[in-house]
Every structure is written in structure tokens, then in C-alpha cells.
Amino acid sequence: MWKGRFAKETAELVQQFGESISYDWRLYKHDIAGSIAHARAQVQKDLLTEEEFTAIEKGLREIEADIDANKFEFKTSLEDIHMNIEAELTKRIGAPGAKLHTARSRNDQVATDTRLYCRAEIDHLASAISHLQKALLDRAEKYAATVLPAYTHLQRGQPVTVGHHLLAYVEMLERDKGRLADCRKRLNVSPLGSGALAGSTINLDRHAIAAELGFDEVSTNSMDAVADRDYIAELLFAISLCGVHLSRLSEDLILWTSAEFGFLNLSDAHTTGSSLMPQKKNPDVCEITRGKTGRLLGNLVAILTAIKGLPLTYNRDLQEDKEPLFDSIDTLGLTLAVNTEMILAMEFREENCLAAASDPLLLATDLADWLVKQGIPFRHAHELVGKAVAESVSSGTPLDQLDLSTIDSAYTPDAQSVFNLQTALAARTNPGAPSIENVKREIERWKAST
């Protein structure tokens, strides 16, 4: 690439230290697509003849086929995917291959390739998230009316249904898809034609190149175009937050499968045993999901650290953007797939869920609401219910079996009507609340839109 300037070959250790072909080979389809669009624009400027363009396109397609078939020999001495493809093209077709790099730099070339790659992978990840949402909806529909406790501070709070709980994760995943879509929109800008940093005196039709590659527009500042890695940082943030959501879901499932909770059974196909304890059935998919979230967060920190102190424009530090990017995309993609499969196969132990939700203390807030409806100010009603709960705990008498009139005259015999799970759920009809009818409507809405 630079033999005219240097008198010595690059040291072998430097080649090993600086190569990226061991991982950036996966950009090959995008690199070839960008090169074909670039060559077509060269024809329009009479930099290539039609025959030369045909030879370039044919040669690149043959190289693509060879890589697809695992028949291509990548060379570390050529550093990266861009030079490996260009060198092989020139070897195969001769002089036209040497003309391909006219009016572009590896700086705008790699920026183009990574944007195309991110765009394609965003579409794959969004689809995988939709599949997971559908799996959650499948389970939410089956258990739409199965009552279980919801928690704050990991202490029982109020009754909800399994369907309502799982729909909370459907909501989170929808926001994840929205962030991916926003990122896709911002990254879908073509930097090709920005050159090393200041464009080129050979002015190719950047808009035509962008249109061929499916970009919405072209970049408007050549320096920013080659230095920008915001889109990678943004994508890694979206991936990290999706991982956080999956980690939270995993924690719920881990707790629910424990003997102490006993709400959930995971399929044998998605759990593991112990090398020592024959009785064990471990929720490894959930635990690995939880663990991999740290890896996703680390990749985000790595890219932010790599770019935080870089002066404009391109610096070789930016080569460090790819391994975290590739790893996060691979990690989240597999995590989504295995969780989708696991969730579709999981079964709730409805009798255990109901038994836990039948704790009358879960309806203490409903009792305070009942007092409010009798004209008692909420703060006073809260205090009266607190006294009733304290008496229940100290006496060992379930709250729904206490003679509440001994606590305060505000309690009439009608107060006992509060202690009915179905009535309590049915009363929660506000949008977003967990009445069974609300849950079923939400499930149908999600099924229609996901």
C-alpha cells in the first residue's frame, strides 16, 4: 500500500500487532458492495471503461463467492479485509483492479463498511427481539389470569397476573427495538467520498453511490465522516440496555424456579444438572444471560474509552471499534435466540402462584382504599391499616380474619369484602393496571403489532 514511501518491510511483530483481518473479514459483503458502487461511479466520470467495470464487478463477485464457500485465503500481511480483497482482485483481473481505489481512502471505506454492517445487524437484532416478544406473549396469553404476587424491595407487594408481569418485559423490549430503529436512522448516512479526511479532487457522484447502497443521504463534513464512531457507541448502548432487560428477566425467572418461590418450571432442555448433586436442576441459560450482560456493558465502555480522547480525524485507535461491536452483536443475537426458545417451553406452577398471592397482606393497600371510599383521608387510612397489619403480625392472625372493628370504628363488616383476589384484580381497570380484561386486551394489541 505504501511501498513508495518506505525503504523497509513492516516488521512481523508490527504486522501481528496491527492486523485486523482475523476479525474484520466479516465485513466482506459490505466491502464488496461498496466497491461495486464506487466503481460504477468511476465509470460515470470516465475513470473506468464499461469493460473494466464489468471485470471489477465480476472479479469481486467471484471473490465474494470464494469467501462464502470458505475458499479464500486471508493474508495477515495485507492487514485488513479491504486490502485483502483489493489485492486479490488486482491479482485476478490485473490493471482495472489497481484503479478501484481511485478517489477513496481506507478511512471512508471502513466507515462505509461498518455502517452497512451495523444497519444489517440492527435489522437482524430487531427481528430477534420481536421473536422473543412473541414468546413472552405466548406465555402471557396462556397465563393471563394466573395470579401471583408482585414485589417491591423483593418483598410481596400486591397481586398481579403472570400475563401482566410478562407484558412488562414486552414493553421493555419494544423500547429496545425503538432505540435500534433510531440508531439505524442516524447511521444510514454515506461517508464514501470523504476520502482520508478532505474528500478528493476527483469528484464522484456521492449521491448516486449512497442511493445504490441504500443510504438515506450523504455526510456533509468529510472530517466528521471518517472520524465518527457515534453510531457504534449508540448501537452498543442499545445492545447493552437490551442485555440489562434480559438480565432482569433472568433474575425473575431464577427466583421463580427456586424451591423458595416454586412458581416456575423450566424445560429440562434449557437447564443443567450438577456433577455432584444429583437432585439439582439449574437455570443456566438465565445465569449465563445475566453474566453476559457485563460483557455487553464492557464492550460499550471499551468503545467510549477508545474514542474519548481522539483528535480529528482518523486515528488507528479506531481499529479497536470492531471487536467490541462484533462481540456484542454476536452475544446479544445468541442470547435472544436461546431465551426465546426457553421461554416458549417454560410452564408456571399455577397452584403455587395462587397460594403465594392469597396472602391477605397483599390486599392491605386495597383495605386502605376501601377506607378512603368511606371518607377517611388517605394518610389516616394508611395508619389504620398499618395498625391492623401490626396486630395481624403480632397475634399471628391472618389480616382477613382479624376483627377489624377492634382496631377502629371506621372498619365496618363490609371491610371484609376487600379480601377477594378476583374482586381486587377486577377493580384495577385503569389503563396499564392488571385487571384480567386489561391484560387480555394488551395481549391482543401486542399480537397485532409485533
Q: Annotated active-site positions, please?
A: 153, 274
Residues 402/392, Cβ–Cβ less than 8 Å: yes
Pair type for strands 264-265 and 217-218: unpaired
**DSSP-assigned letters across all residues of 233-264:** HHHHHHHHHHHHHHHHHHHHHHHHHSTTT--E
Residues 314/225, Cβ–Cβ less than 8 Å: no
* Three-state secondary-structure class, residue 387: helix
Report H helices in 69-105.
81-93, 95-99
Q: How much is the CA Rg of the chain, to the nearest whole Å? A: 30
Report H helices in 258-398.
284-307, 322-345, 350-357, 364-373, 378-395
Residues 334/289, Cβ–Cβ less than 8 Å: no
Distance of alpha carbon 235 from alpha carbon 114, whole angstroms: 12
